[in-house]
Amino acid sequence: MHRRMDKHRCEIIGKVDAESLRLEKRRSQFILRNKFRNIAGNNRLGILWIVLEPLVFSLVYLFVLTVLRARLSPESIFVGITLFGILTTSIMSGIDAIGDYTGGLRCERIRTRVLIIPMVKYRIIDAICRSSPVAIILLFLLGSPPAGCIFFVLCSMVLAVSCEGFALNFSRMIHHIPDLKIVIRYFLRFMFFTSPVLFPLSMAQGIHFHANLFNPFTYYSESTRFVLGLESAYTDFESLTFSLTMGVSLILAIRGFYKIDSFRWELSSWS
């Protein structure tokens, strides 16, 4: 086995031996731990903030909307805010990923799969940390069905990975035009109030309702609300629109992870 490196890729020629696979596994584990170290930083609570953030935001919005006497259930607010928080974090992580494709290893002679595996693992762990405390509250304090709580956690994991993969498609463009990152932040803020985050889609009407049918987040939030037995527009979905929207988002997510190799080598010292 040997490596052939050029400005386009790092290619393995021949069969990968057991020792190389073991080293790649250790490198992936190091990159995953390094991601959590970077999150912790100098904060005393460290990665505990991953757990606390969705809870704090959900409680704040629940308090505000209760004061305003909005006709919303606390379960629906917890689900919407937690899932949208995971979406936002994953998208921002995807567009920032191009900033450092070394994973903390100051060496370019590692395969791209060594970087992708911890990236996906971290996104799944992050989603579990953000959704599990909310699921526990839904189960034990608000009396939600166990199956719905499990579905909520699983849904958050799929949402996290797919959103990061989707955002990776735009990372190279944003690297060349940094101002687009600010535009995306404002767009996500706009989506927070127009997507079914604080309310089920069944409360929307007209163009607001139909536009959200082409928003992938809608299907994650509404299906979770439906399984939890909450008010939802899940039964109003059209199979064609659902298949088209989710199919396109899945294809773009896969393409994003697939294109990491070309993005990485375009920015390396070999290009």
Q: Which of 17-21, 73-77, 143-147, 176-180 has the highest mean pLDDT?
A: 143-147
What are the residue ranges of helices labelled H in the chain? 18-40, 48-67, 74-96, 112-140, 146-168, 171-176, 179-194, 206-212, 216-227, 239-258, 260-266
Binning pLDDT at 50, 70 and 90, where does residue 24 land?
Answer: confident
- Asked whether residue 271 is domain-assigned, the answer is no
Mean per-residue pLDDT, 156-165:
96
Place of tokens 């849904």: 155
Would you say how long the chain is, in residues?
A: 271
Q: How many domains does the chain have?
A: 1
CA atoms of 139 and 149, how far apart (whole Å): 7
The reply to whether 199 falls in a domain is: yes
Domain hosting 51: range is: 2-266
Report CA-CA distances (Å) from 111 to 21, 31, 107, 117, 265.
11, 13, 11, 11, 11
Q: What is the pLDDT of residue 244?
A: 96
DSSP lists the bridge partners of residue 12 as 3
Lookup: tokens for 126 = 């992050």
What percent of the chain has pLDDT above 90? 42
Q: How far apart are CA 109 and CA 105, in angstroms?
A: 10
Three-class SS of residue 4? strand
Residue 271's pLDDT is 44
This prediction's pTM: 0.82
